[in-house]
A and B are shown apart, each in its own frame.
Chain A
């Protein structure tokens, strides 16, 4: 089975700084997504990472705050910009391998703490 990895696995950052999270899959995928899981909460979709074009953001999330790149079929990055303590969350990437399988598989997550 395919391996989905995320870097870093965790980080502690100062407010006002930015952090870029990487998601790497060892096989090609059709779709990639980024989710946020705030402490003790459920998962919320941030955006769909589109290969070679701008990401599609969900309501409440904007490109200036969460710029996303997806240069190829196996890699994506999410940047959390100008961080505040409210950004402290687990950030997870997910992928769909076969378009009409509708099954999303998740990476291990990046645990971010903003002080």
Chain B
């Protein structure tokens, strides 16, 4: 069975601080996909990134970066120089290969960025 663990329930930082959101996953599959989604207070889920299990390159997109380490089954998300607009719940998710169905979500990490 698949499982995604986001041990950090809530994180509070002051604007301009860097923050890392942890994600640890469990799967028996050799091919799988990992995702991060952002859910701002408005409630809509915003797709941030997809990573497949064969690609361990880290990725950077503006202030966002992701560190995928297969050896530790982790896919961590770092926000550099955080801003108030980054305040949201962030979900890490894992999908099975093949039909792209069955996204298994973690419990989410609520990030609060204050001035």
* Chain A interface residues toward B at CB < 8 A: 31, 33, 41-45, 48, 56, 58, 90, 92, 94, 96, 99-109, 111
- Chain A residue numbers with a CB within 8 Å of B91 are 42-43
Given contacts A42-B91, A109-B44, A111-B43, contact A104 B99 (CB under 8 A): no
CA distance in complex: A99, B43 (Å):
26
CA distance in complex: A67, B35 (Å):
28
Binds A, one of B16-24, B68-76, B102-110: B102-110
Contact of A102 among B37, B44, B95, B108 (CB under 8 A): B95
- Prevailing SS type, chain B contact patch: loop
Contact of B102 among A45, A92, A108 (CB under 8 A): A45
Check if B107 sits within 8 Å of A104, measured CB to CB: no
Contact of B44 among A42, A101, A106 (CB under 8 A): A106
Check if A41 sits within 8 Å of B107, measured CB to CB: yes
- Closest chain B residue, CB of each to CB of A9: B43
Contact of B103 among A101, A104, A107 (CB under 8 A): A104
B64 within 8 A of A: no
Check if A33 sits within 8 Å of B43, measured CB to CB: no
Check if B45 sits within 8 Å of A106, measured CB to CB: yes
* Chain B interface residues toward A at CB < 8 A: 33, 35, 37, 42-47, 50, 52, 91, 95, 97, 99-103, 105-108
- Chain A residue numbers with a CB within 8 Å of B95 are 102, 104
What are 24 A-B residue pairs whose CB atoms fall within 8 Å in the complex? A41-B107, A43-B45, A43-B105, A45-B101, A48-B99, A94-B103, A96-B100, A100-B100, A101-B50, A101-B100, A102-B95, A102-B100, A103-B35, A103-B100, A104-B35, A104-B47, A104-B100, A104-B103, A105-B47, A106-B44, A106-B45, A108-B44, A109-B43, A111-B43
- Chain B residue numbers with a CB within 8 Å of A48 are 99, 101
Given contacts A33-B101, A45-B102, contact A102 B33 (CB under 8 A): yes
- Chain B residue numbers with a CB within 8 Å of A108 are 42-44
Residue from B45, B46, B52, B99 having most chain A Cβ neighbours under 10 A: B45
Q: Report the minimum CB–CB distance from A42 to chain B (whole Å).
A: 5
Q: Report the minimum CB–CB distance from B55 to chain A (whole Å).
A: 13
